Structure 1
């Protein structure tokens, strides 16, 4: 980023109306490179223990690869793609040894110190890019309902309330290789907000509503507001909720008063 900036961020997680928590979310700062961040979210599926094992494996894989990552020498998109592939393999091995069927989504974004940003996702956990209160881009779900929208059989509004919105066409831990959706942002700038969230959050909001919330509130306030409002709209039937918000803000540099030299009077 060419201008001075600061990053504010927050994560939020709640079990919602479920009796157990299968979501996992983390915002990691690189141990060696200042300004290098990884936001990662996993929505586990497969019963109480199976879903949590799957999301745990996503987090473990993400931490290990990010710690070894160098923004100076490594390719960010390749690291994220490797994260999905390795987490998928580990979850599959866990399924064999535990005789369970653990599955998980993943939504992860990487911010390099230079300000370039990369995403990866599989399943229906989403990443949003907002700029100055407007949605610029979001991930497209690997789901049955999203396929209907893509074919023109459903509108976005109809998809939001479709009874089969929870049916996935791909995720981590299945017999088939996971779908891998990617996106890049050449240069983040002040006014940008990145948000990754599970379907327990985005299901209850339009993109316009979320854009307004993250624009007007701090990341901590926004996470608390979105979780509370999603729980209210869930009316006792809500899913686990998790999200991570990163906000890019201009850093105001204090200007020193200009001192003009004066010649002494003749």
Structure 2
């Protein structure tokens, strides 16, 4: 029997040093089932309006499918896969009608009433699982630089300053089908925390820094601190920033 916990959650978003905001983030509570929530981060790309339209579409699709989702009978992984595939399709249709090149990443995680967590991601927005101040797992970016790290050609540290760090191998809205990487945490408990964020956030921190920040601060304070610290480390050249943090605190 898993010990009871209280869910605390927050989101944060900032334009950074860019002229406009193309990131989007949402934290959705299920309309009929308490303890069931969906967190989504989308980093839009493709010019001022194109990128924003793409990330908006991810949010809209997520809301629609989550409202229809029944935690008692539906497959959570199938719902997350559907969010990716439907968002991708509509973004492609938008591109045809608007003659733009809208693309978006997605990093989404679902907390079920039973205490499990299902994830999906495409692109270089990440999801992290922390437990008692340590990183347990993170998603692997669908990027050129991540492939170099995986092949042992460069280190994680070298990847942060690589000149091609912005090249994605997969995301939503491209000609090819998006990657649909799924992950599951069978059972969460007190001391667990999950964070999803765009590359404008994670680019400036080690996993240990993220883990300790999330452990020591409330989700709201952690979101504010990480945005502020990333802004300062970017030295005037920072990307849009978006993140969401969900912490499971023990019942006191």
The TM-score range, normalised by the shorter chain, is over 0.9
Show the counterpart of 1:153.
153
- Give yes or no for the alignment of 1:75 onto 2:75: yes
1:262 counterpart residue number: none
Query: What's the counterpart of residue 244 of structure 1?
Result: 244
The answer for the alignment partner of 1:129 in structure 2 is 129
User: What CA distance in whole angstroms lies between the structure 1 residues aligned with 2:162 and 2:46?
Assistant: 22
Q: Distance in 2 between matches of 1:137 and 1:2?
A: 20
Q: Which residue of 2 aligns with 1:45?
A: 45
- Which SS does the other structure have where 2:13 is aligned? strand
Matched, 1:184 2:184: yes
2:114 partner SS? coil
Q: Name the structure 1 match of 2:106.
A: 106
* C-alpha separation in 2, matches of 1:230 and 1:4: 34
1:162 CA displacement: 1.1
Q: Which whole-Å CA distance do the structure 1 matches of 2:154 and 2:182 have between them?
A: 24
Question: For the residues of structure 2 that align with 1:208 and 1:5, how far apart are their CA atoms?
Answer: 24
Count of aligned residue pairs for this structure pair = 252
Q: 1:2 Cα shift? A: 2.6
Superposed CA deviations along residues 58-105 of structure 1, whole A, max 9, x for unmatched, are: 000000000000110000001000110000000000000111110000
The match for 1:25 is: 25
Could you list the runs of 4 or more consecutive aligned residues of structure 1 that deviate by over 6 angstroms after TM superposition?
Answer: none
Corresponding residue number in structure 2 for 1:142: 142
Which structure 1 residue ranges, 5 or more long, are not aligned?
253-266
SS at match of 2:8: strand
5+ residue gaps, structure 2: none
- TM-aligned CA deviation for residue 34 of structure 1: 0.6
Q: Per the alignment, in what secondary structure is the counterpart of residue 148 of structure 1?
A: helix
Structure 2 Cα separation of the partners of residues 149 and 171 of structure 1: 19
Partner of 2:90: 90
**Deviation of 1:180 (Å):** 1.1
Q: Offset at 1:106? A: 0.2
In structure 1, how many angstroms separate the alpha carbons of the residues matched to 2:3 and 2:132?
Answer: 17
| TM-score with structure 1 setting the length | 0.94
RMSD: 0.7
- Conserved in 1, the CA contact under 8 Å of 2:4 and 2:189? no
Q: Which residue of 1 aligns with 2:34?
A: 34
What is the SS of the residue equivalent to 2:164? coil
Confirm whether residue 168 of structure 1 aligns to residue 168 of structure 2: yes
Provide TM-score, normalisation by structure 2.
0.99
